[in-house]
Structure 1
Amino acid sequence: MKTLQHKFVEYIPDKIEEGILYISIEFTTAIHKCVCGCGNEVVTPLSPTDWKLVFNGESVSLGPSIGNWSFECKSHYWIVENKVRHAKKWDDEQISKGQTSDRKKKRDYFFGRLKK
């Protein structure tokens, strides 16, 4: 199982190193290189409708899972206590349903906030 180091930074560096999860609390963003080795940079915005970050004082977890659907590799994994846990590959139909669900959750969240 692959492990990522986490590094809290104010600004995301120009050069993203493999094996490091950079976290900017100020800019509510985490970024790392895809764990499959393809070299693509994976940006995970931290927000109520995107990813949540848990820091337990020693390690970090990022959820929900990371599905790199726009990459050729289509890698899918979780980061749990700095460890990469590979998830089941999704087919095109599952990806489409997941993206539709994500858009609906965002719409419902922001629409609900406007109604308050």
Structure 2
Amino acid sequence: MRHLRLEHRFVRNVPRELEPGILYVSIDYATAVHSCCCGCGDRVITPFTPTDWRMTFDGESISLHPSVGNWNQKCQSHYVIQRGRVLEAGSWSQTQIDAERLRDKKAKAAYYGKQHVAHSHSAEQPIKDRPDTGWTLHSIWSRLRSWFSS
């Protein structure tokens, strides 16, 4: 890891150019953004939702839970942000990554009201949709798009 500590900054909008070593936290958009701690420079977005990340601010530092796994990025770095410190969490196999993606997909489907039937040899298919509650995955992504375009 190139960056072993992240200084936090509470912002409304994240700047276009990220300063390495800074964790930008937007309460308005329920999201934190930082430059990948491995040093590759990729933008890492961690939305705060019941199925994604949780942020803890103890008055001095920020922690994110669960770990940050950059599986879609070339570096595939994996780390924990705990009280502003960056703790390397080790690489994962493709099997572990696939299992986590499936777990995440199921968690989102369960929380946002879609049930999926998972079979080891077939793709998951939605069974039913839940009525709109005002807090949907769609609204989160709309807020994020709005945030980045401002």
TM-score of the alignment, normalized to the shorter chain, above 0.5:
yes
- Number of positions where the alignment pairs a residue of Structure 1 with one of Structure 2: 115
* Paired AA for residue 62 in structure 2: V
Of the structure 1 ranges 1-10 and 68-77, higher mean CA displacement relative to structure 2 is found in 1-10
Q: Establish whether residue 91 from structure 1 lines up as the match of residue 93 from structure 2.
A: yes
* Residue equivalent to 1:10: 12
Of 65, 68, 91, the residue aligned with 2:67 is 65
Secondary structure, counterpart of 2:112 in structure 1: helix
Deviation at 1:2, TM superposition (A): 0.6
Instruction: State the distance in 1 between where 2:94 and 2:35 align.
Output: 23
TM-score, length of structure 2 as denominator length:
0.73
Q: Establish whether residue 54 from structure 1 lines up as the match of residue 56 from structure 2.
A: yes
Deviation at 1:20, TM superposition (A): 0.1
* Residue equivalent to 2:124: none
* Residue equivalent to 2:120: none
Structure possessing the higher radius of gyration over alpha carbons: 2
After superposition, give the CA deviation of every residue in 1:75-113 in whole Å (9 maximum; x if it has no partner). 00000000001102101110000000001011111118x
- Aligned-residue identity in percent: 45
Task: Tell me the C-alpha RMSD between the 2 structures.
Answer: 1.6
Instruction: State the distance in 1 between where 2:17 and 2:77 align.
Output: 22
Spell out structure 1 runs of 4+ moving beyond 3 A.
none
Instruction: State the distance in 2 between where 1:15 and 1:35 align.
Output: 15
| Contiguous gaps of at least 5 residues in structure 1 | none
* Residue equivalent to 2:32: 30
Secondary structure, counterpart of 2:79 in structure 1: strand
